[in-house]
Structure 1
Amino acid sequence: MAEKYAEQADTAAEFPVTVLEELRSSGLLGLLVPAEYGGLGGTLDDLLDVGIALGRVDLSAAMIFAMHCQQVACVIDHAAAPLAQELLPEAAAGRMYLASVTTEASKGGHLLTASARLEADTDASGQLRVDRFAPIVTGGAYADGFLISMQAPGARSPGEVSLVFARRSQLDITASGDWDPLGMRASHSVALRLTGRVPDHQVLGEHGAFRAVALRTLGPLAHLTWAACWLGAAAGALSRVVQMLRDSAKSKDSATKSELLLARLSRARQRLDTVHALLRHTADVYTAASTGDGDVSLPRNQLLINALKITASEECLRAVEDLIDAVGLRHGYLKNSPTRLERTLRDLRSAPLNYSNDRLHQADGVLALLDQGVRFA
């Protein structure tokens, strides 16, 4: 389904509504939801497998799905019982597609601070006032609900951030600007202003405790699922190139006789195997650290999770660049090539920018100073 509509959605920069409907009806929006709430009870490995599979045919659709699942994981891990019991059955039934609202014009994509503040009504109604502008909200125009980061009521610093859920029906939503990017065109990540009131029980975790949500769940799941989607996109590109080359292998002037081409294919495959190994290792470490007496926030764990994001975003892009060099102008650069390398390159160019690698390296420098013994996860 995603492959069928990918070209149209990319050309028009339109949200893949048909794919979202398939995700709803198939139950995949509830992949991570425990069976007790009607979900599929899927594991992290299941989520990564679906991300890779979707990424092979449409990276925008894969990222839309992955970001929704990140939000569902936050509800599972951090929502109090009343909110979890309200939301998780809806996600399992395909009625709750969740969008993430963490960007702000004043801070870019910096995750752990906020400028806009939640205001508590003074009439003892238990309501919180939301007034939030975000320059980028992936799929926000089509979401059923939002997880929104804002300064906690009475916050004394930008780092005292709360994560609050809001239904579409609880908000007035205004979209602004056009969405006409180089790649990831079907993600429809437009700017939104969200205003409205929500009850206080729709805060996930404690007020001001978003940092714990981000370090334990949102950040690691983002980097793991994004890496899976990027890996899928690059693996799909390599698969299409190999298929094209095998189809032409019987020709006497077949490109498969070129030693340079074979070396470039080898390099691309090496990059993808490296990312895949790092992805699976990081998933195992995260699963162990997020259960029992583990601690995801340990510097060695955070360094590994950040290294996965940085490595996957760079190596998957470089693998596609290797493939373009390998097959040349006709099959590597033209839009109508069956390899679809041109679209994959445009989409993957966003990967190092999607929570900037430069920002992660700065954070990792601090974390490296905290781990004098250089202990590996």
Structure 2
Amino acid sequence: MNVQQVIFRDQIVDETAAPFVADRSSFPQRLAAVVSAAAADAEDVDRAARFPRKAIDAARTERLLGVQVPKVFGGDGASIFDITDMCYALGRACSSTAMIFAMHQTKVACLVRHGTGSAYHEALMRRVASEQMLLASSTTEGQNGGNIRFSSAAVERAGTEISLVRNATVISYGAQADGIVTIARRANDAAGSDQVLLAITKDDYTLERSVEWETLGMRGTCSAGFELKFKGSSEQIFPEGYDKIHAQTMTPVAHLCWSSAWAGIAAAAVERAQAFIRKAARGAGGHMPPGAAHFNAAKMTLAKLRAIITANLDAYAAHEHDERALSSLDFQSSINLLKVEASELAVETVMSAMRACGLAGYRNDGDFSVGRLLRDVLSSPIMINNDRILSNIASASLMSAVPASLRD
């Protein structure tokens, strides 16, 4: 891919917020080095189901793991537009690298938005920027599947010391991360939905593998299951409740970054389909091959996918610091539907690209193979299952129609 095609948007910023404003001039060049490393290693990462270490090391070298941290804490102050552009470019190169980067940046976003003012979390931001720490996420637990608004494991307290034992059935790149951002019940007597968010580093916890990772796609994310045991300080708990963090940052940033990564995968498939159609047409004296119509369909669904992401990015950016707007039913429904729509459109796009390529796309050993891209993108509808999201949106919408005075 031509990395220069990635557009980093200009934004109007308040000069009084100068420490938080990104200097984007270096982003394309720094990103290009990571994309190159990711693309060169993508096939072997998938084949061996191994962590994309070369790509993540390149991200460290180019200081992209801490790019979102505000300048005042040693980062670049990158915006959500910058981060999603990077996810898209990485998705075109290596699906697993893109998803790891997207998940890491979601955790960093939680630190930036909800950790400022907390001495511990500000110090961790500085470490992410200076040491280029890789942060993993632990939200899936036990038999809860993708229901991240309910926790079984609770924080145990002994004065200012706390501990946590968590049956984490999935921690993507958990064994390779330098720290984990995880949720838990506030206390033993708290309801499952009364949750806190903790930021912990690998010197505070141990991981004992409980579930292996042998999957159809996204194999390089190394999303094994672990028993997580942590001992640390109460200052590692975010000062704000998880319900607020979930609505304002965790969900919107995750869905925007994931969707951008999936769009990148879809774009890579469309590029291969285009290359195949051109080669086939040249070989047939200018006559279009039978799959040309599917190529047009792939282009249209990719355009729709990118338009949906752009619309949601603009909506989030417009209300990024408006807590009431971010917590509204309209915004929450829209940002959750983004995940559903983006994942379905990404799968549709890659399927159309494969049909455009025909047998050449179905093969695993040619220049036009779409197999890895299809296997990777098929993870998108089941990564927090779309049916669960749609059910939750329907329940919330039904509840909102009932007057508050009649709900009890």
Give the TM bin, normalised by the shorter chain: over 0.9
Q: Name the amino acid aligned to 2:133.
A: M
Alpha carbons 2:63, 2:132 under 8 Å: kept = no
- How far residue 94 of structure 1 moved from its aligned partner, in angstroms, is 4.1
Is the aligned partner of 1:289 residue 2:323?
Answer: no
Q: Name the amino acid aligned to 2:92.
A: R
Alpha carbons 2:273, 2:356 under 8 Å: kept = no
Structure 1: distance between partners of 2:358 and 2:219: 25
1:237 is matched with which residue? 269
Q: What are the equivalent positions in structure 2 for 1:262-281 lying under 5 Å apart?
A: 262-281=292-311
1:341 is matched with which residue? 370
1:228 is matched with which residue? 260
1:72 counterpart (105, 108, 116) = 108
Provide, for residues 91-141 of structure 1, a one-character-per-residue CA deviation record: whole Å limited to 9, x for no partner: 1124311000000122112111100111001xx3x1111111211111100
Is the aligned partner of 1:100 residue 2:100?
Answer: no
1:299 is matched with which residue? 329
Structure 1: distance between partners of 2:299 and 2:163: 51
2:393 is matched with which residue? 364
Give ranges in structure 1 of 5+ residues lacking alignment: 373-377
Against the structure 1 CA distance between its residues 287 and 294, is the aligned structure 2 distance closer, same or farther, given a 3 Å change threshold? farther
Structure 2: distance between partners of 1:11 and 1:173: 25
- How far residue 371 of structure 1 moved from its aligned partner, in angstroms, is 6.1
Structure 1: distance between partners of 2:276 and 2:300: 20
Q: Name the amino acid aligned to 1:182.
A: L
Structure 2: distance between partners of 1:153 and 1:367: 27
Alpha carbons 2:118, 2:239 under 8 Å: kept = no
1:199 is matched with which residue? 233
Structure 2: distance between partners of 1:159 and 1:85: 27
Q: Name the amino acid aligned to 1:192.
A: F
Q: Name the amino acid aligned to 1:349.
A: L
Against the structure 1 CA distance between its residues 277 and 341, is the aligned structure 2 distance closer, same or farther, given a 3 Å change threshold? same
Provide, for residues 283-332 of structure 1, a one-character-per-residue CA deviation record: whole Å limited to 9, x for no partner: 11111222246521111111111121111100111111112222212x12
Q: Name the amino acid aligned to 1:162.
A: V
Alpha carbons 2:66, 2:132 under 8 Å: kept = no
Structure 2: distance between partners of 1:155 and 1:221: 31
Alpha carbons 2:169, 2:211 under 8 Å: kept = no
Q: What are the equivalent positions in structure 2 for 1:73-92 lying under 5 Å apart?
A: 73-79=109-115, 80-92=117-129
Structure 2: distance between partners of 1:17 and 1:143: 11
Q: Name the amino acid aligned to 1:257.
A: M
Provide, for residues 38-77 of structure 1, a one-character-per-residue CA deviation record: whole Å limited to 9, x for no partner: 1111111101100000000111100000000000000111
* Mean Cα deviation higher: 138-147 or 290-299: 290-299
2:194 is matched with which residue? 160
What SS does the corresponding residue of 1:169 show, helix, strand or coil?
A: coil
RMSD: 1.7
- How far residue 275 of structure 1 moved from its aligned partner, in angstroms, is 1.0
Percent identical pairs in the alignment equals: 31
What SS does the corresponding residue of 1:22 show, helix, strand or coil?
A: helix
Provide, for residues 307-363 of structure 1, a one-character-per-residue CA deviation record: whole Å limited to 9, x for no partner: 21111100111111112222212x121111222310011001110000100001001
1:314 is matched with which residue? 344
Q: What are the equivalent positions in structure 2 for 1:96-175 lying under 5 Å apart?
A: 96-121=133-158, 124=159, 126-175=160-209
Give ranges in structure 2 of 5+ residues lacking alignment: 1-36, 402-408
2:288 counterpart (257, 263, 269) = 257
* Mean Cα deviation higher: 19-28 or 223-232: 19-28
Structure 2: distance between partners of 1:32 and 1:364: 30
- How far residue 367 of structure 1 moved from its aligned partner, in angstroms, is 3.3
- Report how many residues are paired: 365
